[in-house]
Homo-oligomer: A and B are copies of this chain.
Amino acid sequence: MAKLTKINHIAVVVPDIDEALKFWRDALGIAVDHVEDVPSQKSTVAFLPVADTEVELVKPTAPDTGAAKFLAERGGGMHHLCFEVDDVAGMLADLKAKGIRLINEEPIELPGRKMAFIHPKSTGGVLIELYEIIK
């Protein structure tokens, strides 16, 4: 059975990366690893490692994504929780067999990882992302 191994990141949607860094970096004191445009997610992301996980600050760059809608509706905040699993396809099959609603029934393959989202209707309102890191 597929196994969940760690929390990869907590994603926080923000309207402006520089403004957000005034709190997360300058006030809380978390060092920024890097800031990157992520065209596949239509966003700019700041990566702030904290011990063996990280906070990702996500600024939507197009209006047609879930993160952009979340920003428009709520003004930002915690958006999703990402767990690493050793076998994302296996985990999706397990979850589907248990009646869990998935946003992605098959893993999406990206450079360095496979990923999928679980629907918040089946998690008690938490959008959950699954990553399988490809080494």
Contact status A50-B6, CB under 8 Å: yes
Chain A residues with CB under 8 Å of chain B are 1-7, 10, 12, 14-15, 19-20, 23, 26-30, 50-53, 55, 74-78, 81, 83, 94-95, 98, 100, 120, 122-126, 128
A to B CB contacts below 8 Å, 30 in the list? A2-B29, A3-B29, A4-B29, A4-B30, A4-B50, A6-B51, A7-B7, A7-B51, A10-B10, A10-B81, A15-B124, A19-B124, A20-B124, A23-B100, A23-B122, A23-B124, A26-B98, A27-B94, A27-B95, A27-B98, A28-B83, A29-B94, A50-B83, A51-B52, A75-B125, A76-B124, A77-B124, A77-B126, A78-B78, A78-B126
Q: Which of B4, B29, B51, B120 contacts A1 (CB 8 A)?
A: B29
Distance from A52 Cβ to chain B, minimum over Cβ atoms (Å) = 6
Distance from A31 Cβ to chain B, minimum over Cβ atoms (Å) = 10
Q: Given A19-B124, A50-B83, list of 20 further CB < 8 A pairs?
A: A1-B29, A2-B29, A4-B30, A6-B50, A7-B10, A7-B50, A7-B51, A12-B126, A23-B100, A23-B122, A23-B123, A23-B124, A27-B95, A27-B98, A27-B100, A27-B122, A77-B120, A77-B125, A77-B126, A78-B126
